[in-house]
């Protein structure tokens, strides 16, 4: 699968960034740029998102394998690489670390756990809102924002969603994500695939937003069973999109974690 990837920084990439549901790689650009001087990055559009190909089915194992194949083709002997994953991308990153541990020197999981996340924000409602938006009657992004406001009241969430609205050459609009597949696969996206085994032997940074309900203390045993060296930190004044709510705090924690890995690289 020929995934769409954007490079951040100069030199050999040292961090791969995996976005959440209905996102794109560019959503993590602020975090990636903050550490790119020492840790150049790769921003991935995951399958069925952004400018990456659409597929007929969903599966975290398959997505992890697609990222692993791209990393091997792209970096060759320069791997392993650190992986930062948010939400759905965090589950993909965890699957990548468990299925391809030799590729992953470090893992950062942002506001998600290896468990059901069906209690979360309500992505079914968001996908339904996008699918029912009358694109044939939309002339401008401002009109799209106004139409979407009837079902999605939060301006920040609408701005995030409307990044997926793509102007078609010659006129009209289309959605970049494969909304039909993602809506159908929501139970699998919210869940955690059976059969993934640990333990992952290296240190893991696990972040959660204090105002988010995606990671609770009840999730700690499941996380530690697979990632026994996970360290959980809580980002103040941040919800589920903690990298957007508190970019400096998230980038600072990421930078400290990546710095802590450097002595291990020479062993």
Q: φ, ψ for residue 219 (rounded to 5)?
A: -85, -10
Collapsed DSSP state (helix, strand, coil) of residue 105: strand
pLDDT at 267: 44
Q: What is the dihedral of CA 192, 157, 4, 63, to 10 degrees?
A: 10
pLDDT at 266: 47
Does 80 sit behind a cis peptide bond, omega within 30 degrees of 0 on the bond before it? yes
Provide CB contacts within 8 A for 46, sequence distance 6+.
3, 18, 19, 52, 63, 67, 88, 89, 92
Domain boundaries, given as residue ranges, for the chain: 4-118+194-265, 123-183
- Report d(CA 146, CA 98) in Å as an integer: 43
Higher pLDDT, 78 or 117: 117
49 phi-psi bin (left φ>0, alpha ψ -120 to 50, beta other) = beta
The position carrying tokens 């993909």 is 92
Residues in the chain: 267
Q: What is the pLDDT of residues 18-64, one digit of tens each?
A: 999 999 999 999 999 999 999 999 999 999 999 999 999 999 999 99
- Fold category of 4-118+194-265 in CATH: Rossmann fold (3.40.50)
Q: Smallest Cα–Cα separation from 27: which of 266, 203, 250, 207? A: 250
Count of alpha carbons within 13 angstroms of residue 162, beta-carbon side: 20
CA distance to 13, 38, 103, 116, 129, per residue, from 64 (Å)? 18, 25, 11, 18, 28
- Report d(CA 139, CA 108) in Å as an integer: 40
Average pLDDT over residues 78-88: 94
Inform me whether the pLDDT recorded for 130 exceeds 50: yes
206: tokens are 């696990």
Count of alpha carbons within 13 angstroms of residue 231, beta-carbon side: 10
- Report d(CA 253, CA 51) in Å as an integer: 29
Q: What is the pLDDT of residues 186-214, one digit of tens each?
A: 999 999 999 999 999 999 999 999 999 99
pLDDT at 264: 55
- The pTM (predicted TM-score) of the whole model is 0.95
Q: Residue 230 burial (CB < 10 Å; 0-12/13-18/19+)? A: middle
Average pLDDT over residues 165-176: 92
Provide CB contacts within 8 A for 65, sequence distance 6+.
99, 100
């Amino acid at each position: 699968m020929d995934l769409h990837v954007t490079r951040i920084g100069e030199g050999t990439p040292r961090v791969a960034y995996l976005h959440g549901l209905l996102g794109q790689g560019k959503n993590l650009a602020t975090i990636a740029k903050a550490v790119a001087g020492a840790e150049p990055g790769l921003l991935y559009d995951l399958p069925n998102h952004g400018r990456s190909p659409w597929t007929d089915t969903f599966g975290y194992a398959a997505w992890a394998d697609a990222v692993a194949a791209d990393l091997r083709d792209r970096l060759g002997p320069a791997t392993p690489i650190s992986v930062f994953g948010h939400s759905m991308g965090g589950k993909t990153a965890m699957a990548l670390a468990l299925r391809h541990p030799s590729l992953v020197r470090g893992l950062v999981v942002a506001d998600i756990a290896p468990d059901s996340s069906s209690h979360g924000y309500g992505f079914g409602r968001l996908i339904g809102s996008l699918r029912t938006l009358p694109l044939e009657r939309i002339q401008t992004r401002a009109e799209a924002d106004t139409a979407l406001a009837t079902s999605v009241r939060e301006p920040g969430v609408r701005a995030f969603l409307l990044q997926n609205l793509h102007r078609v050459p010659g006129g009209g609009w289309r959605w970049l994500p494969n909304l039909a597949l993602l809506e159908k696969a929501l139970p699998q996206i919210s869940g955690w695939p059976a059969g993934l085994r640990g333990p992952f032997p290296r240190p893991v940074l696990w972040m959660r937003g204090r105002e988010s309900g995606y990671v609770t203390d009840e999730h700690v045993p499941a996380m530690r069973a697979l990632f026994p060296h996970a360290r959980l930190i809580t980002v103040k004044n941040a919800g589920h999109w903690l990298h957007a709510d508190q970019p400096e705090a998230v980038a600072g924690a990421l930078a400290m974690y990546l710095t802590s890995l450097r002595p291990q690289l020479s062993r």
